[in-house]
Amino acid sequence: MEKAVVGIDMGGTNLRAGIFADGRLLHTVTRPSTLTDAERQRPADAMRAVIADLTDATGIERIEGIGIAATGPVHRNTGIIDNPHTLPHWSGMAWSHDLAAQLGVPVVLENDAMGALLGEIAHGAGRGGDMVAMVTLGTGIGVAVHSRTSGPLRGADGCHPEGGHIPVVDRGPTCYCGLQGCWEAQCSGTAIGGLWTDDDGTIDWSGYAAVLARGLWSVIRSFGLDRVIIGGGVAQNFDDFIGEVNRVLAGPDPMGTPGGTTIVRAELDEPGMYGAAALLS
């Protein structure tokens, strides 16, 4: 009998869930990340309904576990998402423990940036890398780092580092975290519409790339990366900005240029979902 697991990618806008059997994706569903007033009181029940949609569609009677990759600060050890800004309806409660108890299967929680990176390492653009980062440019900016020798980089108590709040400028709008100049407030998909798009709808990809490169430089320098994977919705426009990013990174640098680092586009359509499922392996 095939062993089935569920992988769920929880973004700030949508929740994407897939059911996998022996590594093969069988079926997916998409739901808004927001919950109704009734669902907010019992988020585990709302998630269980999503899983029921998957099992009903495939005829699978039992799953072996659930992997969840969620945006923002995620505390793996406590099972709590601490992200009232972009996942307010799922934040601050140990509903993943309730879900595990209801279904009688393990539920593993991970940050969505790390989930996407694990998916790309297993099935996509991260294969064969030694020190690899994933930068997800979506509603916000997620950053994850993985070492071939030591595995995922995590913070104290299993929390995930917040690379999207690296300061890249000394001006601009105040980020929701309360600081100015955050990478996320400058270069996320959300920021493009407000900062880099003219009245006629033209996007200044050159200006955007110059600021994006500042954050990439910090990540590359901090971890000695040989590869950076760009994912998220903005990656659909990878060809519009990567040339300028590479030009900026190759410019004069007293510390030497990060010429050994390759910046590539994510290969998977659903890396977070694949990575979430891989958490059960």
Q: How many residues does the chain have?
A: 281
CA 250 – CA 15 distance, rounded (Å): 38
* Mean pLDDT, the chain, integer: 91
127-265 and 4-114+271-278 share a CATH fold: yes
CA 141 – CA 65 distance, rounded (Å): 28
Type and span of the H or E element at 244: helix 238-249
CATH superfamily of 4-114+271-278: ATPase, nucleotide binding domain (3.30.420.40)
pTM: 0.87
Q: Structural domain boundaries of the chain?
A: 4-114+271-278, 127-265
Report the amino acid identity of residue 197. Answer: T
What pLDDT tens digit does each residue of the chain (281 aa) get? Answer: 568 999 999 988 899 999 999 889 999 999 999 999 889 889 999 999 999 999 999 999 999 999 999 987 888 888 898 888 889 999 999 999 999 999 999 999 998 889 999 999 999 999 999 999 999 998 889 999 999 999 999 887 777 778 999 999 987 888 988 899 999 999 999 999 999 999 999 999 999 999 999 999 999 999 999 999 999 999 999 999 999 999 999 876 655 555 689 999 999 989 999 999 999 87
- Find the radius of gyration of the CA atoms of the chain: 19
> Considering the domain 127-265, what is its CATH architecture?
2-Layer Sandwich (3.30)
Query: pLDDT, tens digit, for every residue of 97-149?
Result: 999 999 999 999 998 889 999 999 999 999 999 999 999 998 889 999 999 99
